[in-house]
Structure 1
Amino acid sequence: MIRRLLTVLEPPEAALLRRTVAGLLICAVLQGIAFALLVPLLRELLGDGGISGALPWLGALAAVFAGYAVAYWSSTVSGYRTGAGLSRTLYHRLGDHVSTLPLGWFTAERTGGLAQLSSKGVIAVMGVPAHLLRPVITAFVTPLVVVALMFAFDWRLALASLVTLPLAAAAYRVTGRAIDGQERAHEAASAEAGGRVIEFARAQPVLRAFGRTVHGHRELDDALAAQRASGRRLLLRAVPGFAAFVFSVQFGFTSVLMVGTVLALGGSVDAPELIALLVLAARFVEPLIVAADLGATLRIADGALNRVQTVLTTEPLPEPAVPAVPSDPADTSVELAGVSFGYRPGSPVLSGFSLRVPARTMTALVGPSGSGKTTVTRLVARFFDAEEGQVRVAGVDVRELGTEALMSRVSLVFQDVYLFDATIAENIRLARPEASEAEFHRAARLARVDEIAARLPDGWDTRVGEGGTALSGGERQRVSIARAILKDAPIVLLDEATAALDPENEHAVQDALAALAADRTLLVIAHRLQTIASADRIAVLDEGRVAELGTHDELLALDGRYARYWAERSRAGGWRLTAAPETAP
């Protein structure tokens, strides 16, 4: 584990960790020597030498203790400094590396894991040099020193003590292997249960509306039951191994006691020396028991370090050494040529997909769920790289254009709007912090966010809460669109999300979208009939390909997939909820 810690530390912190380990080794050796010095000291005190005979050994013990105190203080300070440096380094490295990962990497599962890793995980790892290395090193080094020095006093008792080490090491290794997989399963079950608890809390309005406040949330019940079951399995795996480890250690001490008794009865060892050696054997056992108690904590830290390394070794999307420059700066076209892509091997979402979106036009993507509409917009924004084919913006492959240049040309307005726990103004200015007041207020007015700020007590300084929870869904969409308008990118990728909005917010969002679309290239996943019909071109997607392409009138004339889709949506748009007619008794 120390070698892996050195790989994630910066050179100054790595050097400090090496000094910490060296200091802890010196402490453990000095501690073993101090324990061994108890044998001649007690032998003199309990034998014929008395106090005068014990003074030289007492002086030697005091000198060793003084050296131990200095090494202990030095290693403790450097351990805390290493822990603090490790925390700072991990946060910086994780933050720097995560910022280079493609947006497609940030799934809900990975985002939740990253949040847990950046809080509990980093703290667990930083505790290794600060708190765990000392008892672990002491548990292994001090007993070895004690056994080695015990050979100087009585080789038979030393051999009896030596029986403990292989038995304890084997029990520790077998226990670690037995619970390793179960520990990961328990961690996953705990994370799932935590997510379900949050989901249950957020879903209270719906659950209470249907009278299901106590029963009926099966997912939460199942998650809590799975967490309990995994915890029980973990304990069942851990307890036998821990008991075996403690038994092996106590067996070693018992062996020393029995051998010593036999030797004392046979006259090979006198009583004062036997008592001193038994005291030494007791000190030999103590650090091993402490190591057993810390085993679980050490494994948690080791697992967290593994997850940190997994994130840090995740390869970002390749960036060009010299980003390409479009030949025509005014070109805002988007094109996908022969693109194939899948989220899992052997399950393609797009296969040989080709589509061109001319500059300053709107192309609507329609089709059944799973046809690849969202994947198309994600590939244009370079959430992922296409497995085959090319995705071009302004005539340049996005892999050659580079992420920074691509993002400067693209605005994203998707269904899942996330607002930071800041003010309304700060969330809008996130798109372009250097924008003037006039530009800011123009974007807010076009998105009709000024109406939201006007009715709130703190106006533009109103905090929206984590994720924007203080605002309604339509209000969050309007803030998101204002942000996109302020960015003023020439290409807009839009996942229209007005189906679940009330009429007032829907009308406001539509006005904001119309302002956003002015003189820009739009690629929109369309749901509303009005948006679909007003598009310059409509691409009908089916099974990862463009099945039909043309204007609204052209596609209706084909009487194919689009015509059927339009007819179904038109009929659904006329649905109304009415009261059931009363029947005569």
Structure 2
Amino acid sequence: MIRRLIDVVGPEQARPVRRMIVALVVGAVLQGIAFALLVPVLEALFGSDPDEVWPWLWALLGVSVLYGAAYYWSLLIGFEAGATLSRSLHHRIGDRVAALPLGWFAPERVGQLGQLATKSVMDIMGVPAHLLRPLVTSFVTPVTVIALMYVFDWRLALAATLTVPLIVLVYRWSTGLSRLADVARSAAHAETGGRVVEFAQVQPVLRVFGRGPVRSGARLDDALRTQTDASRRVLVTGVPGLVGFVLVIQAAFTLILLTGTYLALDGGLGVAKLLALLVLAVRFTEPIAETAVLGSTLRTAGAALDRVAELLAQPTLPRSEDPKVPDGNAVRFEDVSFGYDGKPVLSGVSLTLGEGTMTALVGPSGSGKTTVSKLVPRFWDVDSGVVRVGGVDVRDIDPEVLMSRISVVFQDVYLFQGTILENIRVGRPTATDAEVREAARLARVEEIVHRLSDGWDAQVGEGGALLSGGERQRVSIARAILKNAPIVLLDEATASLDPENEQAVQDALSALTAGRTLLVIAHRLQTVAAADQILFLDEGRITEHGSHDELIAAGGRYASFWAERSRARDWSLTGQVF
């Protein structure tokens, strides 16, 4: 566990942990020496000249003082190590999550990440605070005691040594019994966490469709029952191991007791020395017995370390050892193929987004339009082919340099819990208030601010829940405007806006096209028709490309698409009131 702990916190933050381990080992050795000094103390007290006890008592007092100093030192280092662990683990988890490809973020990861960043981190923080001391003591102190027993009587020391392999064997057996059950329990906890989040998020949908508390919570109830069953299995499988480990510890002490009694009856060992050595034998078995009580906690902490280590071992998108700087801001796809979990989405896609031009990507749902927009900022690596920005393969560009050139507004907008002003400033944290408000004005966020009592300081809620879908979209567009990147990717950016605000935002976005590369995924007719070029994507392939007039004249799929959208625009609802 100690090695895994050091691996998880990383070499930079491992120093306080190592210092604490050194302090604990020193303290455990001193504790073992203090226990061993009880032998000559008791032997002198029960001997013919009790005054001989004083040198041993002074020695015992000196060792006890040193032990107290080591104990105090380890406590101070333990607090430092705990704080370091919390900070280091959250940073390492956050850095790893930020570097993982988006394909890793499946829906079930929500509960797993939530448990990882909260409960698992707290479990690991408990290692230096509560577990390292008894863990080190349970091994180092008995070893010290056995070593010093050889000084006083090698026969009893040998009897104690012979019990060690059996103790280790039973300990491994007892921990192995519960290991698989612990894994199942951890998975059940993660599943339950995800179901709780899901149950809270979909309340509007459940209530609109008349799903009462009993029916709507069925999946959550199933997850809770699974969690309960998993916890019960941990208890059932753990009890036999716990009982077996305690029994073998008692058997070890009994063997030492019988050996000592035999030697005393045979006349080879004095009674006073026997009593002192039996006290030492108790101090040999007692620390080991404490590990039985800590067994469940140790397994929990070990499982938490395994989960964090597994996350930190997840492969990130590789970085080029010799990164190149793009020359310009044109985007090219060269025979690109890509799929999710082996299911192909794009096949042989080649396209060019000219610098300073606007390209509209059109096609039926599921044709791969959003995937194209996510391959440009390298959220995934392509399966084959090349995506280039400024003539350079995106895999050869430093990720920070690549992302500094790209602003993205996706269809599904997420806002961070905070104020409207803070959420816009995410686009460029160094921007002045005047620059933030100008971007907000262009995206028509000012209208939202004026309607809210707290103005710019109005809270948006978790994920932007306190704003409407269109309002969240406008805040997201304001971010992109504020970032002022040379490449802009818009995935249905105006889908949630009313016609008046759509026109205002479209005018603001049009101002960005000068000297910029603009990719728009949209179904709105005005947006599509204004593009310099239109690419029609169908079943993962570019089947048509050209200007709006050229594609209409060609009479292909795009022309049908345009005709359908034109008819839909003229639809109206009629009804009769009785």
How far does residue 154 in structure 1 lie from its aligned partner after superposition? 4.0
| 2:393 matches 1:379 | no
| 2:354 matches 1:355 | no
For 1:182 and 1:567, the matched residues in 2 are separated by 60
Change (3 A) 1:408 1:263: closer
For 1:566 and 1:229, the matched residues in 2 are separated by 56
User: 1:484·1:516 contact (CA, 8 Å) conserved in 2?
Assistant: no
Change (3 A) 1:168 1:35: same
How far does residue 140 in structure 1 lie from its aligned partner after superposition? 0.8
Paired residue type of 2:215: G
What is the aligned partner in structure 2 of residue 389 from structure 1?
Answer: 385
| 2:284 matches 1:287 | no
Cα deviations by residue, 1:502-554 (Å, 9 ceiling, x for unpaired): xx746424532442134523322223455445544433323322233344555
Change (3 A) 1:507 1:183: farther
How far does residue 479 in structure 1 lie from its aligned partner after superposition? 0.7
SS in 2 for 1:216: helix
Cα deviations by residue, 1:268-296 (Å, 9 ceiling, x for unpaired): 54544443333222222211122222233
Cα deviations by residue, 1:243-283 (Å, 9 ceiling, x for unpaired): 22222112212323344444455555454444333322222
What is the aligned partner in structure 2 of residue 22 from structure 1?
Answer: 22
What is the aligned partner in structure 2 of residue 84 from structure 1?
Answer: 83
Matched positions, count: 573
| 2:394 matches 1:413 | no
What is the aligned partner in structure 2 of residue 124 from structure 1?
Answer: 123
Change (3 A) 1:210 1:5: closer
What is the aligned partner in structure 2 of residue 450 from structure 1?
Answer: 446
**Residue correspondence of structure 1 range 27-426 to structure 2 within 5 A:** 27-45=27-45, 47-49=46-48, 51-95=50-94, 113-217=112-216, 218-313=218-313, 314-319=315-320, 321=322, 323-326=324-327, 329=328, 332-344=329-341, 346-426=342-422
Moved more, 285-294 or 542-551: 542-551
SS in 1 for 2:534: strand
How far does residue 460 in structure 1 lie from its aligned partner after superposition? 1.0
Moved more, 59-68 or 258-267: 258-267
For 1:412 and 1:425, the matched residues in 2 are separated by 18
Cα deviations by residue, 1:109-140 (Å, 9 ceiling, x for unpaired): 55654554344434433433343222111101
For 1:578 and 1:52, the matched residues in 2 are separated by 112
Change (3 A) 1:62 1:385: same
How far does residue 107 in structure 1 lie from its aligned partner after superposition? 5.4
How far does residue 432 in structure 1 lie from its aligned partner after superposition? 2.7
One of 403, 423, 426 as aligned partner of 1:427: 423
What is the aligned partner in structure 1 of residue 462 from structure 2?
Answer: 466
Moved more, 522-531 or 447-456: 522-531
Moved more, 526-535 or 202-211: 526-535
Change (3 A) 1:66 1:8: same
For 2:476 and 2:132, the matched residues in 1 are separated by 49
How far does residue 343 in structure 1 lie from its aligned partner after superposition? 3.3
Change (3 A) 1:342 1:565: same
SS in 2 for 1:353: strand
How far does residue 230 in structure 1 lie from its aligned partner after superposition? 2.3
Moved more, 102-111 or 537-546: 102-111
For 1:432 and 1:449, the matched residues in 2 are separated by 17
Change (3 A) 1:125 1:512: same
For 1:580 and 1:350, the matched residues in 2 are separated by 48
What is the aligned partner in structure 1 of residue 476 from structure 2?
Answer: 480
TM-score w.r.t. the length of structure 1 is 0.86
For 1:570 and 1:259, the matched residues in 2 are separated by 98
Moved more, 180-189 or 423-432: 180-189
How far does residue 300 in structure 1 lie from its aligned partner after superposition? 3.3
Change (3 A) 1:78 1:472: same
Cα deviations by residue, 1:225-257 (Å, 9 ceiling, x for unpaired): 222222223333322222222221122123233
For 1:567 and 1:479, the matched residues in 2 are separated by 32
For 1:214 and 1:556, the matched residues in 2 are separated by 52
SS in 2 for 1:420: coil
For 1:279 and 1:338, the matched residues in 2 are separated by 79
Paired residue type of 1:341: F
Instruction: State the percentage of identical aligned residues.
Output: 56
For 1:172 and 1:540, the matched residues in 2 are separated by 65
For 2:544 and 2:241, the matched residues in 1 are separated by 64
How far does residue 423 in structure 1 lie from its aligned partner after superposition? 1.6
For 1:20 and 1:455, the matched residues in 2 are separated by 57
Change (3 A) 1:256 1:505: farther
Change (3 A) 1:52 1:364: same
How far does residue 415 in structure 1 lie from its aligned partner after superposition? 1.9
User: 1:337·1:355 contact (CA, 8 Å) conserved in 2?
Assistant: yes
How far does residue 5 in structure 1 lie from its aligned partner after superposition? 4.3
How far does residue 470 in structure 1 lie from its aligned partner after superposition? 1.9
Change (3 A) 1:190 1:6: closer
User: 1:103·1:382 contact (CA, 8 Å) conserved in 2?
Assistant: no
User: 2:174·2:242 contact (CA, 8 Å) conserved in 1?
Assistant: yes
Cα deviations by residue, 1:474-516 (Å, 9 ceiling, x for unpaired): 11111111121222233221111666x5xx7464245324421
Paired residue type of 2:501: A
For 1:378 and 1:239, the matched residues in 2 are separated by 51
For 1:34 and 1:439, the matched residues in 2 are separated by 70
SS in 2 for 1:415: coil
For 2:468 and 2:535, the matched residues in 1 are separated by 32
**Structure 1 gap segments, 5+ residues each:** none
Aligned-residue CA RMSD (Å): 3.4
TM-score w.r.t. the length of structure 2 is 0.87
User: 1:481·1:513 contact (CA, 8 Å) conserved in 2?
Assistant: no
SS in 2 for 1:392: strand
User: 1:317·1:385 contact (CA, 8 Å) conserved in 2?
Assistant: no
Paired residue type of 1:321: D
SS in 2 for 1:182: helix
How far does residue 413 in structure 1 lie from its aligned partner after superposition? 0.5
For 1:183 and 1:569, the matched residues in 2 are separated by 55
**Structure 2 gap segments, 5+ residues each:** none
Moved more, 195-204 or 549-558: 549-558
User: 1:102·1:317 contact (CA, 8 Å) conserved in 2?
Assistant: no
User: 1:124·1:304 contact (CA, 8 Å) conserved in 2?
Assistant: yes
